[in-house]
Amino acid sequence: MLLANKLIAIVGGGPGGLTLARLLQLKGANVRVYERDLDKDARVQGSTLDLHDESGLAAIRKANLLVAFKENFLPGADKKLIVNERAEVFFSDHETKVDENFGHEHFRPEIDRGSLRKILLESLQPETVVWDSHFISMEAQNGGWLLHFKKGPSAFADMVIAADGANSKIRPYITDIKAFYSGVTMLEGNVYHSKKATPHIDALNNGGKIMAFGNKKNVLLGQKGNGDLGFYTSFKADENWAANSGLNYADKTQLLTWFKKEYSEWSSIWYELFENATTPFIPRPIYCIPLNQTWKSLPNVTMLGDAAHVMPPFAGEGANMAMLDALELSESLTSDKYSTLQEAISFYETTMRRRAAIAAQESLENGERMHAEDALNTMLDMFGRH
């Protein structure tokens, strides 16, 4: 095996990095995951993920974790409502969507990010994850790389895999191609104990997710398994809106005033979200890879997930693409078809770029549809076809 007697460093402990670690360990590879979080409980995980049969779930099956996934996914959380700015329901699949239909191409079971992370972490060998390892830089050494961190000792690896997200510090070692701004910014908020804190929204949502469209703007929200609620306001804005808005993202009153002004035609039912959200809100300008990106593959460093192909979230492909990257990369690196690691990496990267470009194009097009004047009818047509 090409990885025999080699130490593999995966930088980043998100779904893609942890899935890759699990898959490589199943093949006998020596893997370390360097994660900047202090420990497994250091950070509140974001909104739920819906895994797709051909990507995220395919990786889960290959990792022999489907039983654990079924024990932890959220039945019914993939049920959705499409509403207008006044919260009037135009589409609901709450009465028709089954709670479990594994193996069906359109079944996309939801799972909390924290639950998925726990499943993956518990599947790894002890001491695989090196916590509190905030990657700073690396330098070539003895045919491999010496990794440097903000705290703690440096570490050597024969091969490095970047799984460190959209702002990857390893990507520049591979390519100088940068993502471009999509034109959309999202403002993320979270509500603890939504049944009590936001009873009107909670009753409307009924444990699923809501997509609200009106006046070229969106509100997107979904239930978490612990009873919390994650939501996003999504709108077209200048790339530097987050820095130049003058908003204090820790001030709920100020953010509610902003919402009332910018979403002036929207129902007061949405005010519950801002009145009861935990702070700070998180502004997220949405970026996307150039669809034609390419680079010459290196013999001992590559990347996956957002580090390789950040894209808008409007096709639900981010985590799924990262986990499929992990699956395809693990198979390339452990295959006997390639004579060198560089050849194996090149095959993976060529396939990955082609696949990611298609998903990114779909995400960009969906983003335009969702922020258009007639977004509601467009999205109703789209979901009606399914």
CA 73 to chain centre: 16
Give the sheet arrangement for strand 159-162, strand by strand: 129-130, 30-34, 7-11, 159-162, 301-303
From the number of C-beta atoms within 10 Å of its C-beta (0-12, 13-18, 19+), residue 180 rates as exposed
The answer on whether 369 is annotated among ligand-binding residues is no
Question: In a 3-state reduction of DSSP, which class is residue 193?
Answer: coil
Q: What are phi and psi of 329, to 5 degrees?
A: -65, -45
Token code pair at residue 156: 């050597």
The per-residue b/e assignment along 91-114, b for 16 or more CB within 10 angstroms, e otherwise, is eeeeeeeeeeeeeeeebbbbbbbb
Beta carbons of 203 and 327 less than 8 angstroms apart = no
Residue 61 annotated as lining a ligand binding site: no
Q: What span, in angstroms and rounded, lies between the C-alpha atoms of 108 and 100?
A: 9
As a three-state string, the secondary structure of 7-44 is EEEEECCCHHHHHHHHHHHHCCCEEEEECCCCCCCCCC
Query: Can you say whether residue 231 is alpha, beta or left, with left for phi > 0 and alpha for psi between -120 and 50 degrees?
Result: beta
58, 324 Cβ separation under 8 angstroms: yes
For residues 5-42, one letter each, b for 16 or more C-beta atoms within 10 angstroms of the residue's C-beta and e for the rest, the string is: ebbbbbbbbbbbbbbbbbbbbeeebbbbbbbbeeeeee
Longest CA–CA span in the chain (Å) reads: 64
Q: Which residues pair with 221 in a beta bridge?
A: 210, 231
Calpha distance 7→30 (Å, rounded): 5
- Residues at the binding site for FAD are 50, 113, 306
Q: Which residues are annotated as a binding site for NADPH?
A: 43
Annotated binding site: 43, 50, 113, 306
